[in-house]
Amino acid sequence: MERIELHVVDEERRMRLEDFLFRRFAALSRMYLREVIKTEKCEVNGRYENRGYRLRANDFVEIVLDPRRENSMRPENIPLTVIFEDDEILVVHKPTGMLVHPTHRDRTGTLLNALTFHLNYHQTVKRDVCRQNGPIENNAHSHRSVIRPGLVHRLDKETSGLMVIAKNVRAHRILARQFQSKTVTKKYLALVGGEVRESSGEISEPIGRFADRKFWDLKSDGKPALTRFKVKKRFPDATLLELEPVTGRTNQLRIHCRAIGHPVAGDIERSGPIAARLCLHAYALEFRHPKIGRQLRFESGGETDFSEFV
DSSP-H helix ranges across 191-296 = 252-259
Phi, psi dihedral angles at 61 (to 5 degrees) = -115, 125
The residues near 60 (Cβ < 8 Å, ≥ 6 apart) are 5, 6, 7, 8, 44, 45, 46
The residues near 238 (Cβ < 8 Å, ≥ 6 apart) are 191, 192, 193, 194, 195, 265, 273, 309, 310
How far is 172 from 137, CA to CA, in rounded Å? 22
Question: For residue 95, with 0-12 CB atoms within 10 Å meaning exposed, 13-18 middle and 19 or more buried, which class applies?
Answer: middle
Q: Which of 179, 284, 263, 188 is nearest to 218 (CA)?
A: 263
* Residue tagged active-site, from 19, 59, 156, 217: 156
- Does the active-site annotation cover 66? no
Angle at 76 between CA 287 and CA 97, to 5 degrees: 65
Nearest-10 crossing angle of helices 111-121, 124-133: 100
Q: Report yes or no: 42 and 61 within 8 Å, Cβ to Cβ.
A: yes
Which residues are catalytically annotated?
156
